[in-house]
Amino acid sequence: MKKSDKIFHWLPRIFCIIAIAFVSLFALDAFSPELSFWQQIGAFLMHLIPSFILLALLVLAWNKEFIGGILFTIIGLVLSPIVYAHNYRMNHSVLISLGIILTITVPFILVGILFIINYFRKKRKTKETSCHESN
C-alpha cells in the first residue's frame, strides 16, 4: 500500500473521530450542581445520543465506505440549515451562525466526501490490478 493510499484510508477515519469527540464535548453542559448524581448521568447520556449515532455511522463507514460517506454527507447537509437557523435565532448574527456551521456540520460533510473519494480510489486501484493480472 502506497503512502498516499494509507493517508486517504486513515484521513476520513481520524478526522471523523476528532469531529465526534468535539461534538461530544457539548454533552458536558449536562452537569449541573442543582441536579442529583443520577439526573446528571442521565442528562449526560441523553446529550451523548448524537455522538453514539455518529459512532455507529463511523463503524458502518469504516466497512462500507461509499454508504457511510453518503450518509455522513447527507447528515451534514441536512443539519446545516437546521443548526444555522437555531443559532441565528439565539444570537442574530450571520457570521457567528456560519462559524458554528463550519465547526459542527461541515466536518461531517468533509468526512463523507473523503470516505467516498477513498472508496473510488480503492475501486479504481482494484480494477487496475485486475486488468494487469489478466494481461
The domain ranges of the chain are 3-134
Give the C-alpha separation, 92 to 76, whole Å: 22
Give the C-alpha separation, 70 to 76, whole Å: 10
Cell readout for 87 is 443559532
Residue 84 exposure: Cα atoms within 13 Å on the Cβ side = 14
Residue 12 exposure: Cα atoms within 13 Å on the Cβ side = 30
Task: Give, for all 135 residues of the chain, the pLDDT tens digit.
Answer: 688 788 889 999 999 999 999 999 999 988 888 989 999 999 999 999 999 999 999 999 999 999 999 999 999 999 999 999 999 999 999 999 999 999 999 999 999 999 999 999 999 887 776 666 665
Residues in contact with 123: Cβ distance below 8 Å, sequence separation at least 6, in sequence order: none
Would the CA dihedral through 76, 80, 82, 87 be positive or negative? Answer: positive
Residues in contact with 106: Cβ distance below 8 Å, sequence separation at least 6, in sequence order: 76, 80
